[in-house]
Each structure stands twice: as C-alpha cells, then as structure tokens.
Structure 1
Amino acid sequence: MAQDVIPITDPRWRIQSAASHGPSTPLPMTRHEMDQRGWDACDIVLITGDAYVDHPSFGAALVGRWLEYLGYRVGIIAQPDPLSIATFRELGKPRLFWGITAGNLDSELANLTIMRKLRRDDPYSPGGRAGRRPRNASIIYTACARHAFKGVPVVLGGVEASLRRFAYYDYWTDRVRRSLLFDAKADIIVYGMAERAMAELAWRAWEGKPWHGIRGTAEYLNTISDLAAVKELPSYENVAAPTPDGRRAFMEMARLIEAETDPQSGGILVQRHGNRWLVAHPPAPPLATEEMDLIYSLPFTHRPHPSYGKDRIPACDMIKDSVTIHRGCYGGCAFCAIGMHQGMTISSRSQKNVLREIERMTRTPDFHGTLSDLGGPTANMYGTGCRHSRSNCRRRSCLYPELCPNMQTDPAAFTKLLQAARQVPGVKHVFVSSGIRYDLALADKSEQWLRELIAHHIGGRLKIAPEHIAERVLRAMRKPAASSYLRFLQRFRELCRDTGKPHDIVEYFISGHPGCTLGNMVELAQYLRQARIQPSQVQDFYPAPLTMAAAMYYTALDPETSQPIYVARTDREKGLQRALLLCHKPEFHRKAREALRAAGRADLIGRGKHCLVPPGKGE
C-alpha cells in the first residue's frame, strides 16, 4: 500500500458510529422510510440505474452501506423516471452531495445490442423489464438531479463513468467524445473501486474541505500550473480529429493511459479540453485483506428492496447463492474492462471472512445447500499476486505473452478455501462457475487444485474463454497461445476420466475483434468443426471505452507497431464473422456461405466431411 494512503479501517474516516436499524433493514428509498429512522434529511443520496438490491455485487448498495458504516445518512433512488423530477426529490435535498451511477452496466449496452437494436430485457430491473434506465444515464441523471435541487455537488461513479473519465471513442455514435465529466457537468468522477476515494471525499465534504487531489478521482481545473509532475495526454481536440494524425494521437493517448493505471507507479494524467483541463489523479491502491473483510461484513440484507414485492430481479437471482472472494484481474486482455476498472492487483478476502458469509447464507430460508459460485473476475486468481507488489512495473498483463516470473500463482489458498467451504454445515455443493484461467491452471504442476475442482466443484460444465484459435488474433487480444488451450483441454479430459467425472467444457469465443479477418474466422470455424464444438452463443466484440481493443477498433492500428490492422466495422462484416462462428445452425448457413466466398474458401461449401456448410438450393 502506498505510504500516503490511510487504511479504510482507520477510525478517522468515521464521523460517527452508524446507527442500528435492525438486522434486515435496507437503506431508505422513500420519505416514509427516512421518517422511520428519525431522519429529517439525507447526507448523501445515491442515484442508480439498477434496481436496489442490498447486496455487495450491486455498486450502489456497496457504496451506500460503506458510507452508512462511516456514519453518514444515506438514501437510494433507484431507476428514477427522467420525465418526472419529483422522483429525484423523493428523499429531499442531500446535505452533502449526490452520488450518481448508471448502474452495474454501461447504460448504452444495457439498452442496445452490439448491432444497435433495442434489448428486450434488463437483468438489473424488476421483472427483467427493459427501458427502466435511460441511455446516457450518467448525463441524464446528473441533469435531473441538478434541476431537482440547485447547488448540490454531483459525484459520478460506476463503470460507465470510470471508463469515460478521459476522451473516449463512443461506439454508439462512432465518434470521439469528451470526458464524461464535461458532458455530464458533474463536479468529480470517482473511478475504479470506490471505497477509498468515497471515504475521503465524504469526509472532506463533511468538514467543508475542497475535493482536490484525491486518489482515484478525476476533476477539472482551469489551470494546472500548481500541479507537479503531471503527464500530459494529447488534447481532446487532437484525438477527436477524424484524420490519420488524429487516430495516431488517439492511440498514443491509449498507450499513455494504460501505462499509468497501476497504483504503485501511476502518475497524474492531464488532458486539455478546450480551455479547461481534465485532471486524473493516480489510482487508489487496492484493498488489503482486512479491508476487504470489513467491506463484505457490512450488514447487507442480500435481498431486493421490499418495495419490489413479487417482482424478481434476474441479476439478483443469478448471484443470491454466490460469494465474491476477490477483486481484480492481472490477465490484461485487450478487450476486457475489468483490469481497467478493478485493477490488476488481486484483493482477496480471508478464508475466515468468506466462511462466515457462507454460514450466514445457510441460515436463510431460501438457501437449499448449493453455493452456485465461489469466485470473482477470475476464480483461480484468489490468493495469488506479485511477489514485489508490482512496484514500478509497466506490464499490462502478468500472463501475456508468458507468465511473469515475479508472480506467485500457487492455488493452495483457493484449494483450502474450497475444502473448508464444503465442510460448512448445511452446504451440499460448492461450485466454481465464474470461469478460470486455464494457463494459470497449467502453471500448477502438482495439479492438486485442478483435481479438487474436477472432483467436487464443477456443476457439470466448466467455463473457460479461449476466445479464438488463430495466433495473430490471440496476440491482438493478449490471450495465451492456442497450444495452451489445447493442452488444458487434453489434461482436463484425462483427469475427468481418472476421477470418473464426465464434465463438459463451455468455451467462449469472440467474433469481430480488431485484427481478426474472415480468414481467421474460417480457421476458427474449421477448428470448432474438427473438435465437434457447437457454440450456443457467441460474443460480438464491443469496444469498451478505455480498453486497448477499443483504441485498436477506432484507429485500425496495432498498439505495438502502429501498423494498420484489419477491423470489421460494418454490420455486414460483423455479421459474416458471427455467421462463421455459428455456421452449424441452419439459420446462419446463407451468411456463412457468403462469408466463405468472400474469404476465398468456397471449397468449404458442400457435403464433404471437411465442409462447414451445405450448398444452397440450386447449387
């Protein structure tokens, strides 16, 4: 932990002890609930694009419970109606500030498919109904909050704001936009995991102190003359220019941002937007184990707010019997936003703390003995990490192109946790369903953890994400070589036979990633046919803001060499790649034939064993 960072367990952050409102009392969503607590006003009101589920997997609930623990009066307005300012006035005027998040999902991605069609559902809404959160939710909620009560500061947070703190490529409008801080007209952005920054920010607001210079935040200034040792990014005007020079400037910006995202070595990044400066302070250090234990021990009800009645919230149903055991991911995949949001350092909970949560779950009436998932972003990263705390390290992946020798990847801690979880009275099954890194599993030469996993902790199917098979595409993705995936498959099947457990593997693949050509997709389709793998669904590439893959998509440049790369940008190009991945399905045969002809592989159309699709009528 950086020397200038005060642990969140330090009592100075607590303005007063949090009052107890009973063991199963969620944060207030109505004036009546405030009255029951004897409150005349909230110190902080959180606005979220998700339904309010009082569970640590929901960002607003996590931040709300944390601020409550620190002594603040916190209310939540969930999915307010932008057409009714009255819904933003439900809890009255906040004394300190608004905290606004679009929710656990990017609000554009929550509303639209990659092909820009309206989604039919939203798993974070009551009944799974779509349309409960607006597009550009951070911007719209901020405008409504400003209109509801003048003069109240606005703090933006969550994944939508975090990934848009700098100028960014917006897939939905196909242009580069300003930092969300400027477009939303908020006061400050808290980026990444928010506990440290929110503790200091709320304390400063309580004490009447300015918010300047807080780690894990982005603010705007009229001048940067008082800042020392800043690193200047290309300006918004430069990176937004629709020219070759503008695209090169955008790629330079992406490389600089990526190099400065580690809390140990990252500096202050500044970016000019017109006559103002976007100032992003270094990332907040990740939580230590005792801090993680504190956060996950807060008095969550682990249920939706009672106001939803019988309306089920699908995302809650998915995680209600699961336990988060760590944060962070050091895989560094080019397309993944987890590392950019949660960081590359693994923050693990203690075994004792995890077991205490499992014991609590066994006492709930709707728990039937099965833990659906004991995991995190990458389950088998629990208890692992850099031996040198990543001091002065600039690598953006600890696993690519090969495992860093400074990494401690022994899965012993996870093995012990799984074994202990199985022994908790009332627990019948403990599954790991959040996915694993197969290259990490192969690094464990003893294979004890993998044997343990196969024998006890797979609910029929193990999830892994090779994403592709073509080496040039895997390099663009920063994924391990195909040989690693194939070695794991072979060893996994051998161990399944040895243990008498006939498990299946569910593989995830991506179509349309920058650098992936139709020829590369033909190569993947041929492998899938040979291996008798028929993906039921595939992931269409989405250029998540702040990821290197988004920069590759927008600029069509290789980040390492700055040389041009192929990018499937049109709906037709994307559709052809998707069709090859799903060519085993009759409804994709026509497009797959079109793709094969475009790739110069019409020889794969026919009824021979080597063919991918049958001929069309009259062919």
Structure 2
Amino acid sequence: MGLKEAQQKGWEELDVIIVTGDAYVDHPGFGTAIISRVLADAGHRVGIIAQPKWDSIEDFKKLGKPRLFFAVSGGNTDSMVSNYTPSQRLRHEDAYSPGNRPGMRPNRATIVYSNRLREAYPDVPLVIGGIEASLRRFAQYDYWSDKVRQSILADTPADLLVYGMGELQLLQIAERLDKGVPVKEITDIDGTVWKMEVKAWKEKRDAMLRNNIEIPSYTEVSQDKVLYSKAFKLTLDEQDPVRGRGIVQAHPKTVIIQNKPMRHLNEKELDHVYELPYTRSAHPSYKEPIPALDMARFSITTHRGCFGSCSFCAIVLHQGRTISSRSIESILREAEGLKKIKGFKGIINGLGGPSANMYGMKCEKWEKKGTCTDKLCIYPEACPSLNTSHKKLIELMRRLREIPGISKVFVGYGVRYDLALLDEQYMEELCAHHVSGQLKVAPEHYCNAVTDAMKKPRREVFEKFERKYKEINRKVGKDQYLVAFLMSGHPGCTLNNMIETAEYIRDTGRYTEQVQDFTPTPMTAATCMFHTGIDPFTGKNIYVATSRKDKMIQRAFLRYKDPQNQMLVYEGLKRANRLDLVGNSWNCLIRRPPRGKER
C-alpha cells in the first residue's frame, strides 16, 4: 500500500511498514502478502515499500514513520540466491521483479534495508524476518564470500529477528508495542531472536542456561570446522516447537539468543490465513508482469512443513518437520473463489505444500513429544509411527474435481515418490486425473552413496516408482512422461560417482536436461558439509568438490551428450583413468576429442 492509498482510507499514519526485496504481489504464496494481510486483519494499518532504491534514504521515507515498527524481508528467497547463479555469476533475470528484470534488490538486502531505515528513523523499532533473516540467524557459512558470517542480527541494527512462519510472532510484537512495551524488553516471544550485551550475558549466563543451551561462539565456529559442524547439529536438534529449547551463541560485540520455535498454526488458524481476501494480483502500479506470480496465481497451498529432511533443503529449519494441514472445506472454498478471478480458465495448476503429497499426514508422537532427534521420519524408510495414508488427500482431490467450473487440478511437481509408492490408490488418482502429460520428480542422483548423503531415497526406490508409474498409466489409459531432476556437486559426490551416474543414464536411457548445480545456501546440512568436509550426523569426513572446475566437470557428466561439455567430460574421464569411455564404441560417453585438443 502506498501513501496515496493510505490517505484515501483516511489514515494519517501507518502502524507497520513492511520493506521487501520483491515486487509486491497480493498472493498467499508470497510471505509479504500473508504478513500484511494478517496484520491488517488484526486491525493494523499496513504499508509496503517494495524494492526501494537503496542508494539513499528517500524511498524508505515514502510512507513516513510507522506508529509501531518497520518489518524488513529480503524477499521470498535469500537475496544472494536471487542475484547469483550457483557458479556465482550475476543472474540475468529475476522472477520476483517486474518484467523478470534483475538488479532490483541489493546483495544482502536485509542488511542494506535495515541500515537505511535506521539512518532515516533512528528511534523506530526494527524487525527483520523472511527466508534471508531466518536462515542466517546464527553464525553461518556464506558461499558468496567464502567465509563464516555473523548472525544477521549482529550484522544489522535490527531489534528483533522473526524466524520461521512469522504470523503469530508479528501479531504479538505489534500487540506489545501497541501497549507501550519498549522493543528492548520484548525478549520472551517464541520464534524470535534477540540480542544481549556481552557484559549483561556474563552476569546472567548461569541463570539463562537453565532453560537454554549454548552453542560454540561465532569466533569458535569461524576458526574451527569441527566446532562449526557441532554447532549446526546442536541447532538443528532444537528446531521443534514442542521439545526445542532456546539457543545462545556469543559474538564479539553481542550475544545472540534464539527463543524456542513458535508453535505451528492449527487447522482453524491456517484456514483463516489462507482465506483472507487476497487479490492474487500484482500491485496496480506495475506495468510489466511478474513471472513468479504468473506461475503461482492459480495454485493452492494445502499444508505447511516437510518431514523429508533432505540435506540440501532448508524447509525443516523454516517451516518445520511436522505437517500443518488446512481443512478440506477451506481448500474447497479457496477453489470456488478462484472462479471469480479474472483470467481463471478452470485449471488449478498447483496443489500442495513444500511437498505435494504430505497433506493430512502426521505422527502419533508429534503433538506431545515433538519430532525425534535420533532418527528421521522417512529416511532411509518411513517410520512405523508415521501415518503415511493419502486418504485425506485423495478425498480432497476428488472433491475438487467435482466443483463446477474446475476442469483440471494439476499436481505436476513436488511429489515424494517414496511416499506415493506406499499408496497405489493415490498413484491411480494422480495418474488418471492430476498429471498434465508429465510428472516432475526429484531423485537428484542415481548413485546411492550420494543419495545417502542427500538423505534422499536410493536408486532402487526411484526405479520401483518408475515401473509403477508406467504400469498405472497403462492401466488408466494414459501416455504420460516422468521427468527426473538431477543435481551435481553435492557433498559426498565424487568424480567416480558422476561417471557411475553417467553410465547408468546411458544404459537406462534416462538422459535429462533438468540438471542443476548444488548451491550451498545458508543453514542447510549440505552447506555445513560443504564448508567443513564433515557430515554433521556422523562426524565423519566427507568428500566435497569445492573448486569451480571440479563442479563444472561434475555437472558436465549429467549432460554428457551436449557438445559443449565434451572437453569437460574428457578431462574428468582422464583424471579418473577411465578413457575406456572415450571413443566410438556403443558404451562410450563421448567421442575422442580432435587431435591437439586432448589434455
């Protein structure tokens, strides 16, 4: 909301102003939209400054001074991920900006925006949140500078950091500030991080450690990779709202204190959040389309959380391992509402959450004991205590298909195929009604040593799923494809693993263009491995391809048929003493390079 819109409502001032690194889109798939709607629903007057120019304070003063606080988010993704490719080159496009235009947000947007706001309004409470702040709340390895950075709360002048899905935290912060509580005294809200002076910490340390744990300090983890790995594992084990404790990490000039995680929204609360009056459109001031909105406009979120625990994914650290599901009736009402949106043609193009088929699933232990620390829910196989029934999801899918005006409900991506294999009825429903010609799944790799490091299903599980997928498609009379997404360069992946994978692709005909390099994003287990060379779950050393050349060679093996990759594949085969795979034989990966170009 802009100043003119506020004036049209008769508002003399705003209560909360949100500053974001993304274009403003009023859609429940975008964090800024959810937070602004939730605050407005609670009676607060909310303004939004989207993608401000950061070379001066002028854009940050457009809406004036908020009565309660500024809230800052780098956007739907970490600003460094938005701005740079896995090979650390500047991106040429940005799906969260008008016209797909890059360069609309600064590097480390949360820090830059916070500094500008403090410069403009020194006395206004400042709260940071969103993916960037959440996943940098402790000392963390930063791939782009190749060093361990301080907690983002230590690097900014912010008063509080909200981590995870922040609706309840921000409502409580707003309520406290509205009652006149000084922001420095707001230190007991779950799901928030605050800071304490070093002197005060030394005085209160013993008392505070009765209910909190202390992890190795910034100084220690920045100098000792074993301690970095230990700190990561200690942090990971406390990220549960039922059993999690507060965490303390000392920094040179301040002490960072994370309160235990905020409880998850219950079904009624989640329904309410997703049924707020989103327009599912960009702000009318934009003249160019915003690609991320175009992709998500007619999608529906069914649940939050993911118990997959993939090493390279941060969802567990942001949304949690437990599944919070909406009611079927709420989702049906949202689907009915889509019919009123301009441009809707009867097709819901996405249905799910972080994973498409965890809706309605739960463990009997979650409510009272929280998630387990000594084992994962679904790796290496589903825990007997986990209810993996797709019954509720099947009912939802069937009822959505019955709505007049809804012609298709597609689930084209995000399916956990190891879960799908446990329920043939779900697979039949999926193949018969919810795949638009191809289903995208993510085995990520075909070498078991690598999938083990990723905490992903092993190759034989994917092969079993592929056979079942083909069988069921024949049964329902469909001719539909399976598209596999693969990843190179993940910790634990060696050159020989990539050669093994390339040979497997050759032998099975599973060649795909859908490949990506591993990107060490903040606060994931895989990033911990990448930086330390240690598996935090076992304490054992793990191989990591860290140089750009090594990563390029690994990626080249996933697309060995591409002529542009020939020399990289050749170099990799030569390093591995596998030149038997070079030549004209049926089993060769590449032909011999032209004379003079061999290395």
Tell me the residue number matched to 1:149. 121
Tell me the residue number matched to 1:523. 500
Structure 1 stretch 592-601 or stretch 574-583: which is displaced more? Answer: 592-601
Q: Residues 36-91 of structure 1, C-alpha deviation per residue, up to 9 Å, x if partnerless?
A: 01111111000000000001111111100000011111000000000131111111
SS in 2 for 1:440: helix
% same residue: 44
Query: Which residue, 451, 473, 478 being the options, matches 1:474?
Result: 451
Tell me the residue number matched to 1:247. 225
Tell me the residue number matched to 1:221. 196
Is 1:584–2:561 an aligned residue pair?
yes
Q: Residues 217-251 of structure 1, C-alpha deviation per residue, up to 9 Å, x if partnerless?
A: 1111123425232101001000001xxxx000000
Q: Which amino acid aligns with 1:389?
A: W
Structure 1 stretches (4+) deviating beyond 3 angstroms?
none
Query: Which residue, 360, 377, 380 being the options, matches 1:383?
Result: 360
Is 1:205–2:177 an aligned residue pair?
yes
CA distance in structure 2 between the aligned counterparts of 1:128 and 1:231, rounded to whole angstroms: 44
CA distance in structure 2 between the aligned counterparts of 1:418 and 1:478, rounded to whole angstroms: 29
Deviation, 1:395, is 4.5
Query: Which residue, 211, 214, 220 being the options, matches 1:238?
Result: 220
CA distance in structure 2 between the aligned counterparts of 1:254 and 1:602, rounded to whole angstroms: 41
SS in 2 for 1:404: coil
Q: Residues 389-436 of structure 1, C-alpha deviation per residue, up to 9 Å, x if partnerless?
A: 161521563101221111011001110111111111111111002311
Tell me the residue number matched to 2:513. 536
- Give yes or no for contact 1:119–1:130 (8 Å, CA) kept in 2: yes
SS in 2 for 1:308: coil
CA distance in structure 1 between the aligned counterparts of 2:157 and 2:21, rounded to whole angstroms: 18
Q: Residues 350-372 of structure 1, C-alpha deviation per residue, up to 9 Å, x if partnerless?
A: 11111111111112230011111
Is 1:95–2:67 an aligned residue pair?
yes
- Give yes or no for contact 2:118–2:157 (8 Å, CA) kept in 1: no
- TM-score, L = length of structure 2: 0.96
Is 1:421–2:400 an aligned residue pair?
yes
Q: Residues 178-202 of structure 1, C-alpha deviation per residue, up to 9 Å, x if partnerless?
A: 0000112211110000011111111
Deviation, 1:471, is 1.5
Query: Which residue, 487, 494, 504 being the options, matches 1:510?
Result: 487
Is 1:394–2:395 an aligned residue pair?
no
SS in 2 for 1:380: coil
Structure 1 stretch 58-67 or stretch 600-609: which is displaced more? Answer: 600-609
CA distance in structure 1 between the aligned counterparts of 2:319 and 2:570, rounded to whole angstroms: 42
- Give yes or no for contact 1:375–1:434 (8 Å, CA) kept in 2: no
Tell me the residue number matched to 1:404. 383
Tell me the residue number matched to 2:258. 280
Q: Residues 553-598 of structure 1, C-alpha deviation per residue, up to 9 Å, x if partnerless?
A: 0000122332222101000000000000111211111111111111
Q: Which amino acid aligns with 2:21?
A: G
Deviation, 1:253, is 0.3
SS in 2 for 1:238: helix
Query: Which residue, 133, 143, 163 being the options, matches 1:161?
Result: 133
Deviation, 1:213, is 1.2
Tell me the residue number matched to 1:555. 532
CA distance in structure 1 between the aligned counterparts of 2:569 and 2:238, rounded to whole angstroms: 42
Query: Which residue, 4, 9, 12 being the options, matches 1:40?
Result: 12
SS in 2 for 1:491: helix
SS in 2 for 1:91: coil
Is 1:68–2:40 an aligned residue pair?
yes
Query: Which residue, 437, 443, 447 being the options, matches 2:422?
Result: 443
- Give yes or no for contact 2:357–2:416 (8 Å, CA) kept in 1: yes
Structure 1 stretch 433-442 or stretch 295-304: which is displaced more? Answer: 433-442
Q: Residues 122-173 of structure 1, C-alpha deviation per residue, up to 9 Å, x if partnerless?
A: 0000001000011110000001111122211110000000000000000000
- Give yes or no for contact 1:515–1:566 (8 Å, CA) kept in 2: yes
- Give yes or no for contact 1:401–1:478 (8 Å, CA) kept in 2: yes
CA distance in structure 2 between the aligned counterparts of 1:356 and 1:231, rounded to whole angstroms: 44
CA distance in structure 2 between the aligned counterparts of 1:482 and 1:461, rounded to whole angstroms: 20
CA distance in structure 2 between the aligned counterparts of 1:401 and 1:414, rounded to whole angstroms: 24
Tell me the residue number matched to 2:432. 455
CA distance in structure 2 between the aligned counterparts of 1:389 and 1:560, rounded to whole angstroms: 22
Cα distance, 1:95–1:396 mapped onto 2, change above 3 Å: farther
Tell me the residue number matched to 2:306. 329
CA distance in structure 2 between the aligned counterparts of 1:84 and 1:185, rounded to whole angstroms: 17
Q: Residues 254-300 of structure 1, C-alpha deviation per residue, up to 9 Å, x if partnerless?
A: 11011111111110100110252110011111111111101001111
CA distance in structure 1 between the aligned counterparts of 2:191 and 2:99, rounded to whole angstroms: 35
Tell me the residue number matched to 2:351. 374
Tell me the residue number matched to 1:20. none
CA distance in structure 2 between the aligned counterparts of 1:327 and 1:580, rounded to whole angstroms: 35
Is 1:124–2:96 an aligned residue pair?
yes
Pairwise mapping of residues 262-273 of structure 1 onto structure 2 (< 5 A)?
262-273=240-251
SS in 2 for 1:381: coil
- Give yes or no for contact 2:484–2:514 (8 Å, CA) kept in 1: no
Q: Residues 77-117 of structure 1, C-alpha deviation per residue, up to 9 Å, x if partnerless?
A: 00000013111111100111100000001101111111111
SS in 2 for 1:51: coil
CA distance in structure 2 between the aligned counterparts of 1:295 and 1:536, rounded to whole angstroms: 38
Tell me the residue number matched to 1:9. none
Tell me the residue number matched to 1:181. 153
CA distance in structure 1 between the aligned counterparts of 2:412 and 2:255, rounded to whole angstroms: 44
- TM-score, L = length of structure 1: 0.93
Query: Which residue, 251, 273, 276 being the options, matches 1:298?
Result: 276
RMSD, aligned α-carbons: 1.2
